[in-house]
Amino acid sequence: MLMKKCIYFLLISMTHLCASAQKNSYTVFFKTWNYLKYYHPDFATGKLNADSLFLQDVKKITATTDHNAVIALLTNNLQQHFSTAAAKATATDVIKSNQDFSWFRESAGIDKGHKQLLENIYQHRFTGPQHYYIPNNGYEADIPHEKVYDFPKEENLPLEYRLLALAKIQGCIDYLYPHKQLMNKNFDAYFESLLSRTITCQSRKDFEIILAKLVAPLEDTHAFSFYKQLHFAKDIFHTKLYAPFDYSVFDHYLLVTKLMIPDACQKAGIHAGDRIVAVNGKSIQDIIQSKKELLSASNPSVLLYRISQYQDNLIWPDDMALKKLAIQRNNSGDTVETAIEFIKPTDKKHIDSIVQYLNDEAKRKRQHRLEHPGIAYFRIDQTYKFISGVADDHIDQTMDSLLLAASQQKAIIFDMRGYPDWGGFVYTYIYKYFADKDNYFGKYYQQYHQNIGTFIYADQPAIYFPVLTNKSRHTYNGKVFIIVNPQTLSASEWNTMNLQYIFPGSVTIGQQSAGADGDIKRMALPGNYSLEFTGNGIFYPGGAPAQKVGVHIDEKITYRDIDLLKGQDLEFDWIIKEIL
């Protein structure tokens, strides 16, 4: 019996060693393949297809394949002798921190000849304006020529396609994502651990968990919604059942804000204002951490905001219908235990009540605005109405009249807690009426085609302001307030930076924004997935970053339980006090 156990553990150890050896071979395979894809002229011009090479050669990797053999395998049929060196990259304002070739330059497992081969490819890399795998313009979202490989939803992908998905994610991070330097420094080791799991995973669900765990470390709010594409998202995130109450998530508790199904809540002794500190024995802190490992968010504030959204239903730790809750109330440290049945999708009566509640909340939020004498109020997600139905040749006149009226008020409020429904409102018309001609309010970095994996400052005026012939600036002497929170995302953050520059005396008030400025890039992955991420670097003129940290805030607002329970808008309250 003892001998059988020894043999069993020996076999298990050998399996792990084999997977580890393969993992290291695959790591070099991935790194080399991406390097060739973005630098070698055969791929950059579209002469050869990078995916075809990957799928053909990855099957030849074994546990005994050494690193030099991997490089030789991938470069065997590629041009290796070049007559023309790469054009010299002359730009000086370039983000270079992402570019890291230490994986081969400092590798003891790669010999001098293969290091020189890779160096030679880089020195003769493709530097033309139309790279086969890079968008021509910084604002373009779709990464070109990335094939969609579709498979039945219930089936696990074949190993070579699972590995191709991982290689493409790694390529995005190493060459296309300008904020790799902001990621955890141990990401490469983390990637290798998930690579090992990818080799042995037996189901589509397990593979989707791996994908989510690889996307989350980008810590990029643009990538947050990746989970919605997962076929097993309901199982992975436990979204099959619904709470009979609404809630807001804090870092160590869940605040009950509304009783959506009062009878069920009263039966369980749950009241609005209760703090749930644990669910089925798992603390809220631990639950949040487990969600953080699966969801990409630029900062903790936006993660808490996103998992507080009832309709997304992301906070729960399991699929048990009966949830045992540990509750604290009345600001005491005492904890009481209760249990409550969550609502099943088949419970039409209660589901209808939840849907009605959510519709009412959505309507209330759409109608939420500040109306006060002497204040011009603009919601960034409700500006298109100003020109809806207006003939094109009357839009300028309409907007001039609107902004003239606004300039006669003692305060202007720009509520940026949403996504712009019309790009021209700030970019064209606020600029035209209130800004100086040269309105370089930020620094926009895009992929540098002469050196893929680095990002060059784009100084073209059209990125920052329109070129207008008869522009004149109107001075505004009143107060300007800009309201932000985690809903202030991407274009809304960009517009906020613009407003802050146009109105240097403005006060930005609220909570940390989403921290994902810049245009998105979209990479197709095998399995019919699409990875969206921030594809440009955005900075303030002085060099302060917007990614992760969000826009600059002058007056930070913190909501207490009582504020949420009363439905107060503390930003509105603060502004009114400042004006009166």
The predicted structure's pLDDT at residue 580: 82
Q: Are 63 and 21 in contact (CB under 8 A)?
A: yes
The bridge status of strand 336-341 relative to strand 322-328 is: antiparallel
Task: Please provide the average confidence, as pLDDT, over all residues in the chain.
Answer: 94
pLDDT tens-place string over residues 70-128:
999 999 999 999 988 998 889 999 999 989 999 999 999 999 999 999 999 999 999 98
d(CA 257, CA 267): 17
Q: How far apart are CA 45 and CA 336, in angstroms?
A: 66
Tell me: the pLDDT tens digits for 160-203? 999 999 999 999 999 999 999 999 999 999 999 999 999 999 99
Span 236-357: which CATH code?
2.30.42.10
Query: Looking at residue 17, what is its pLDDT?
Result: 42
**pLDDT tens digits, 299-346:** 999 999 999 999 999 999 999 999 999 999 877 778 999 999 999 999
**Separation between Cα atoms, residue 50 and residue 195, nearest integer Å:** 20
533: number of Cβ within 10 Å: 25
Give the amino acid at 56: Q
pLDDT digits (tens, 9 = 90+) for 418-468: 999 999 999 999 999 999 999 999 999 999 999 999 999 999 999 999 999
Work out the pLDDT band at 228, boundaries 50, 70, 90.
Answer: very high
- d(CA 392, CA 233) in angstroms, rounded, equals 45
CA dist., res. 351 & res. 358, Å (int): 11
Strand order in the sheet with 555-556: 375-379, 411-415, 479-484, 507-510, 555-556
| 23 band by pLDDT with thresholds 50, 70 and 90 | low
Main-chain phi, psi angles of 179, to 5 degrees: -120, 30
Task: Tell me the C-alpha distance between 324 and 337, whole Å.
Answer: 7
Task: Give CA–CA dist 30/58, Å, rounded.
Answer: 9
pLDDT at 64: 76
Q: 15-28 burial by CB neighbour count: b if 16+ within 10 A, else e? A: eeeebeebbbbbbb
pLDDT in tens, 544-579: 999 999 999 999 999 999 999 999 999 999 999 999
Indicate the helix (H) or strand (E) that contains 281: none
Question: Residue 5 — very low, low, confident or very high, per pLDDT cuts 50/70/90?
Answer: very low
The per-residue pLDDT for range 359-417, each reduced to its tens digit, is 999 999 999 999 999 999 999 999 999 999 999 999 999 999 999 999 999 999 999 99
- Tokens 């949420």, located at residue: 564
Higher pLDDT, 471 or 521: 521
Report how far residue 570's alpha carbon sits from residue 354's, in angstroms, rounded to the nearest whole number.
27
Residue 63: pLDDT band with limits 50, 70, 90:
low
d(CA 225, CA 403): 36
pLDDT recorded at residue 11: 42
Rounded to whole angstroms, the Cα distance separating 245 from 261 reads: 7
CA distance 209 to 441: 40
pLDDT band at 16 (very low <50, low <70, confident <90, very high): very low
d(CA 547, CA 551): 9
pLDDT given at position 4: 47
> What is the DSSP secondary structure assignment for residue 385, as one 8-state letter?
G
Element (H, E) at 510: strand 507-510
pLDDT digits 0-9 by tens, 203-224: 999 999 999 999 999 999 999 9
The larger pLDDT score, comparing residue 360 to residue 20, is at 360
The verdict on pTM exceeding 0.85 is: yes
End-to-end CA distance of the chain: 85
- The token pair at 410 is 């003692």
In the chain, what are the domain boundaries? 15-202, 236-357, 364-579
* Residue in this structure with the two tokens 């436990």, named with its chain if needed: 238
Which whole-number Å values give the CA distances from 467 to 111, 427, 432, 439, 470, in the listed order? Answer: 55, 11, 10, 11, 10
- Output the pLDDT for position 8: 42
Span of 9-23, 55-69, 368-382 with lowest mean pLDDT = 9-23
**Tell me, what's the pLDDT at 129?**
87
Residue 480's beta-bridge partner residues?
Answer: 412
Above 90 in pLDDT, residue 12?
A: no
DSSP-assigned beta bridge partners for residue 275: 255, 328
Superfamily of domain 364-579 in CATH is 2-enoyl-CoA Hydratase; Chain A, domain 1 (3.90.226.10)
Q: Which residues pair with 93 in a beta bridge?
A: none
Query: Cα(519)–Cα(491) distance, rounded to whole angstroms?
Result: 8
Does 9 score more than 50 pLDDT?
no
